């Protein structure tokens, strides 16, 4: 007869309780909002690495039921929480199975994107309109009204017209490239979630999953070839069909990935001088904030470095994904 153990039940109850506390803190305590939401999925991630899918799924159901009981709101409560916790549990599952780093990152990114799309569909259904379009229209409308009031008071009529045209062009660009913005946001969020998961998994001694340093990221040469082909197609395609718009969004995502590869090269070189990753991150943040006027030039320069590194291997390092995991 198999011996009964209360340890999984206790650990599941602990993970569920911590998930509820962190989720509610993120929802109702503004000072802890982002910090608490980032950590809300860590307990279930730890549980799935340690005990597997069944125990963690049970804890998830218990946590969502308790969140609904406390909030009384089905959408922002259990549904929203489930979609935000899904990437963490995906990361925990992949870490437990010892999948390769970039396979895990792709899975977490897809889980993030799935959550975003489901939430947008729910918001569209609740509002009865296109929620994203209304949100973007409202934001740019508020900015236009605010700047219009300021410029009319200053007597700058011509400048106001120029500003209005620029804001309209920016709104059109955001609406056109919203799919790529969503994918990039899911990728960035996935990287943060996976990094947090690996950090806590090592600190809690439940997994020794290998973390790939940012400075070691290198894109395969095949991506460079694909990027060049798609960029040329996008450049010579001038119609406004859905297929062209999809192509331009794909190019935007690939361009972002190439820029990340370029930034990785910069980080590799800078790490020889500054060993602290926190200090290097602060330097990059200051450069992007203070040099926002030249952000396009910085972006294209990083893209070029990423393309060169993909072809010439500026660091003589491994390609993305060659991290020894299955």
Identify the CA nearest to 310 among candidates 272, 264, 273, 271: 264
pLDDT in tens, 136-158: 877 777 777 776 666 555 455 55
CA gap 22, 39 in Å, rounded: 7
**187 pLDDT band (50/70/90 cuts)?**
very high
pLDDT in tens, 288-319: 888 777 888 888 899 999 888 888 877 765 54
Buried b (16+ CB within 10 A) or exposed e, 308-325: ebbeeebeebebbbeeeb
What is the pTM assigned to this prediction? 0.82
3-state secondary structure 138-167: HHHHHHHHHHHHHHHHHCCHHHHHHHHHHH
CA gap 246, 302 in Å, rounded: 24
Mean per-residue pLDDT, 41-67: 88
Sorted by where each begins, the domain ranges of the chain are: 1-212, 215-318
CB 217 within 8 A of CB 264: yes
């Amino acid at each position: 007869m198999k011996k009964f153990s209360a340890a999984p039940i206790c650990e599941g109850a602990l993970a569920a309780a911590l998930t509820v506390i962190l989720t509610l803190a993120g929802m109702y305590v503004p000072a802890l909002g982002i910090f608490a939401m980032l950590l809300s999925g860590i307990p279930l991630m730890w549980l799935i690495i340690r005990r597997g899918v069944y125990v963690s799924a049970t804890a998830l159901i218990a946590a969502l039921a308790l969140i609904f009981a406390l909030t009384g709101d089905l959408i922002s409560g259990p549904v929203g929480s489930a979609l935000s916790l899904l990437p963490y549990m995906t990361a925990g599952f992949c870490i437990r199975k010892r999948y390769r780093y970039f396979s895990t990152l792709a899975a977490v990114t897809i889980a993030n994107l799935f959550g975003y799309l489901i939430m947008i569909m729910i918001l569209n259904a609740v509002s009865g309109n296109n929620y994203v379009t209304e949100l973007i229209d409202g934001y740019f409308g508020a900015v236009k009204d605010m700047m219009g009031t300021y410029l009319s008071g200053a007597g700058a009529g011509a400048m106001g017209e120029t500003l209005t045209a620029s804001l309209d062009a920016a709104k059109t660009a955001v609406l056109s490239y919203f799919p790529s913005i969503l994918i990039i946001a899911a990728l960035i969020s996935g990287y943060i979630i996976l990094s947090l998961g690996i950090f806590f998994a090592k600190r809690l001694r439940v997994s020794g999953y290998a973390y790939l340093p940012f400075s070691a990221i290198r894109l395969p040469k095949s991506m460079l070839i694909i990027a060049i082909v798609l960029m040329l197609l996008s450049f010579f395609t001038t119609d406004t069909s859905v297929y062209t718009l999809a192509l331009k969004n794909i190019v935007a995502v690939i361009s972002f990935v190439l820029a990340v590869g370029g930034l990785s090269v910069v980080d590799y070189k800078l790490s020889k001088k500054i060993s602290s990753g926190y200090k290097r991150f602060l330097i990059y943040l200051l450069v992007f904030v203070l040099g926002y006027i030249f952000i396009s030039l910085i972006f294209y320069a990083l893209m070029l470095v990423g393309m060169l590194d993909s072809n010439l291997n500026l660091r003589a390092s491994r390609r993305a994904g060659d991290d020894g995991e299955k």
